[in-house]
Amino acid sequence: MSPKAQIPSHRKPRNSKMNTALRAGVTGGVMGTIALTAAASPSFAADNKAPTETMEMPTLSGNLESSATAAADSIQQSALTYELQEAQGSAVTKAKEQAKENKEKAEAKAKAEAQRKAEAARKAAKAAEKARASRSDDRGSLQNASAEAPSPSSSSPSQTKGSGNAATLINFLKGQVGKAYVSGATGPSAYDCSGLTQAAFKTVGVSLPRVSQSQSTTGTPVSLSNVQPGDILYWGSAGSAYHVAVYIGDGKFIGAQNPSKGVVEANMSYDQPTGAVRVL
């Protein structure tokens, strides 16, 4: 013991309240510990006690049924999706095939149209070539006839009359009525308009040009009100006439009209001529 411990003035006074609280706290802690131990002991004993009951596993039937339904729905949805994709693919394929077919049809149609146009152009070119050849023949005939026939300025009834007369001319023409019209024909079974007049006047010793244009200026022009049997009638203008015939009297004429009518006898009122010339 320290020497100073015996000196009262060096000791700290004890606090009785603090001691009382301390003792109460210790006591409470001890009692709490005892209570916890007592409470835990039965539980521990129960936990370590051997099991006396059988435990049952929860049933899975409900969960399995739900899972099967979900799986079936999923499979059905997949099947529908597959069918939809197949249908779409089939539609696309058909559309492509139809487009290809339409394209082939359009190309075939265009090719056929091009061939048709080419054939039409070929026929037109052939017809034009034939027309050019015909005009060349007409020009050659005209030149030959012009060389043989007297010119319009020197022609007169006395110079071209020959040994025949109008009656002989008209009789010949009446004998040709009903025969065919053929372009370029000069008889004896078929005629065109200028071929008939040329053949008729040849029977009375008068040589006429071959084509109607030249025949319309051969001889002396006369008015239609003063025409006589044997005068040449023409349609169109003098020098460029497109048709000729012969006046036979009583307001009638005989001429080779066209392929559908042939050589006919008709009234002048049926087809009024433009002018007339006299060579007999």
Predicted confidence (pLDDT) per residue in 14-72, tens digit: 555 555 544 545 455 545 544 444 444 444 444 444 444 545 555 555 566 777 788 77
Task: Summarize the confidence of residues 106-130 as an average pLDDT.
Answer: 80
For residue 148, is pLDDT > 50?
no
Instruction: Out of 126, 148, 170, pick the residue that ends a domain.
Output: 148
Tens of pLDDT, residues 230-260: 999 999 999 999 999 999 999 999 999 999 9
Spatial distance between the Cα atoms of 231 and 248, rounded to a whole number of angstroms: 8
Residues 197-202, mean pLDDT to the nearest whole number: 96
Residue 156 is assigned to a structural domain of this protein: yes
Q: In the predicted model, is pLDDT for residue 157 greater than 70?
A: no
Across the range 1-22, mean pLDDT stands at 49
pLDDT bin (cut points 50, 70, 90) of residue 119 is confident
| 201 or 43, which is more confident | 201
Is the pTM higher than 0.85? The answer reads: no
Domain containing 104 equals 82-148
Report pLDDT for 14: 53
Q: Do 249 and 176 fall within a single domain?
A: yes
- Asked whether residue 77 is domain-assigned, the answer is no
Opening angle at CA 140, ends 185 and 169, nearest 5: 45
Q: Residue 209: is its pLDDT beyond 50?
A: yes
Which of 131, 148, 165 delimits the end of a domain?
A: 148
Residues 138 and 198 in one domain: no
Residue 172 lies in a domain: yes
Residues 116 and 170 occupy one common structural domain: no
User: Do 118 and 230 fall into the same domain?
Assistant: no
Q: Could you tell me if 133 and 217 lie in one domain? A: no
Name which of 6-15, 60-69, 98-107 the model is least confident about: 6-15
Model confidence at 163: pLDDT above 90: no
Q: Is 212 exposed, middle or buried (0-12, 13-18, 19+ CB in 10 A)?
A: buried
Calculate the alpha carbon distances from 121 to 11, 89, 124, 126, 135 in Å. 149, 48, 5, 8, 21
Identify whether 219 is part of a domain.
yes
What is the residue-averaged pLDDT of the chain?
75
Q: Tokens 């030249």 label which residue?
A: 214
- Structural domain total, the chain: 2
247 shares a domain with 160 = yes
Boundary residue ending a domain (130, 148, 166): 148
Same domain, yes or no, for 184 and 100?
no
Q: Which of 31-45, 50-64, 176-190, 266-280 comes out lowest in average pLDDT?
A: 31-45
- Average pLDDT, stretch 151-180? 68
Cβ count near 262 (within 10 Å): 17
- Quick one: what percent of the chain has pLDDT higher than 90? 40
Question: In the predicted model, is pLDDT for residue 268 greater than 60?
Answer: yes
Distance (Å, rounded) from C-alpha 38 to C-alpha 60?
42
d(CA 236, CA 273): 8
Cα(221)–Cα(135) distance, rounded to whole angstroms? 26
Q: Which pLDDT score, from 0 to 100, does residue 185 have?
A: 95
142 & 246 share domain: no
CATH of the domain at 157: 3.90.1720.10
pLDDT at residue 76, as a whole number: 81
pLDDT higher than 70, residue 75 = yes
Could you tell me if 218 and 208 are in contact, meaning their C-beta atoms sit under 8 angstroms apart?
A: yes
